Chain A
Amino acid sequence: SQTIHQWPATLVQPVGSPLSLECTVEGTSNPNLYWYRQAAGRGLQLLFYSVGIGQISSEVPQNLSASRPQDRQFILSSKKLLLSDSGFYLCAWNNDGHEQFFGPGTRLTVL
């Protein structure tokens, strides 16, 4: 069966520090991968999606970047965090069936 992992689960970082959030998927090949951000009490904002290794599409201009170094690995990064980067970050995958499967999320607090 397929599983999706995200880590860390929670993270507290100072403004200006770098960020690296990792997402990995098991049990499937060539998944579409997605990074979302969810502000407190709000809906999901799609940040990046990838249909293959090295293929990244960005939905909104921002302080973040994404990379897909391996088929089932998706990384969200920042060189210098801003206060506004705080939020709940969710990784998801699917295989062209439209239904998406979400990871447990990472709670990021930037102080």
Chain B
Amino acid sequence: SQQGEEDPQALSIQEGENATMNCSYKTSINNLQWYRQNSGRGLVHLILIRSNEREKHSGRLRVTLDTSKKSSSLLITASRAADTASYFCATAPQAGANNLFFGTGTRLTVIP
């Protein structure tokens, strides 16, 4: 399966702390993306990192990619209660169509 796996499955932190989520995948990729999903809603794209990039920032988000280890991490700094959601990584394969393969997600709870 090309699906990624996030770790941990669930994470609970206090507001103001940093949250780190990890994603591992199995095949070569063109890029890796992180999405956020509030309960019962659609997914929202957060950030895309290409296979030739190692780190990317967007506001309070920092994403790293290690293609040799086939892994990525998403760091949310100075977390807020509004960051409570599920976070998914998705990989775009190196060849083929625009399909994305999603991981199983990390459920983040930020306690105010």
Q: Which A residues are in CB contact (< 8 Å) with B20?
A: none
- Beyond A99-B48, A102-B44, A105-B40, is A46–B100 a contact (Cβ under 8 Å)? yes
- Contact status A57-B97, CB under 8 Å: yes
CB proximity to A under 8 Å, residues B35-91: 35, 40-45, 48, 88, 90
A5-27: CB near B (< 8 Å → 1, else 0) gives 00000000000000000000000
Bound Cα distance A104, B38 (Å): 10
- Contact status A49-B99, CB under 8 Å: yes
Bound Cα distance A99, B90 (Å): 10
> How many residues does chain B have at the interface if contact means C-beta atoms less than 8 Å apart?
25
- Contact status A98-B42, CB under 8 Å: no
A90 within 8 Å of B (CB atoms) = yes
Interface residues of B (CB under 8 A from A): 3, 30-31, 33, 35, 40-45, 48, 88, 90, 92, 97-105, 107
13 sampled A-B residue pairs with Cβ under 8 A: A42-B104, A43-B88, A46-B99, A46-B100, A46-B102, A57-B97, A59-B99, A90-B42, A92-B43, A100-B98, A100-B100, A103-B42, A104-B41
